[in-house]
Amino acid sequence: MNQKNKRLVRCGLLKLKIAQQGAAIINVGYITHVGENVAAVHVDMTSKYCEVGCTGSQCDGEKKGVPLLLVDANERSIKLKKGKEKDSTEIHFPQFSGWDIWAANAARYSIYICFVRHEAPTRPTAVRSADGLHGPNVNRI
């Protein structure tokens, strides 16, 4: 890989699986950027004002885990699946098997997710000092 190709690149549709349909209605997902060890994803929803319940992974024997995300409704949420208002929607991301969800944020109609690869090379960590964080990788991915 040459220096020009080390930048994050734009991609296309995200393969996702709705393992359990709850209140939140999911439309489609897009991989917005992907690098060697990090990826940014945008999931579009019909439902509005939902929240990320929790993240995790589904393990299948010896295989590495498939990341999953639970999306919950709250008292502000609208455009929900009728009869499922109290249930979580469980989304699996088989395209990112072996990756972790590092961060997830729900906005009005969207969920933004950052994936990191399990085998990411180790790098020096930041050191906490009296005046804040310092280190070679602070504020950089």
All residue ranges of the chain with pLDDT < 50 are: 1-5, 8, 120, 124, 126-141
Indicate whether 129 belongs to any domain: no
Q: What is the pLDDT of residue 1?
A: 39
pLDDT at 141: 42
Is residue 32 a part of any domain in this protein?
A: yes
Tokens 């939140």 found at: 24
127 in a structural domain: no
Model confidence pTM above 0.95? no
Which domain covers residue 107, as residue numbers? 7-119
The domain total for the chain is: 1
Task: Look at residue 100 and tell me if it is in a domain.
Answer: yes
Residue 104 domain flag: yes
Look at residue 52 and tell me if it is in a domain.
yes
pLDDT at 131: 46
pLDDT score recorded for residue 10: 56
The pLDDT value recorded for residue 53 is: 86
How far is Cα 80 from Cα 128, in angstroms, rounded to an integer?
44
In a domain, 140, yes or no: no
Residue 41: predicted pLDDT: 92
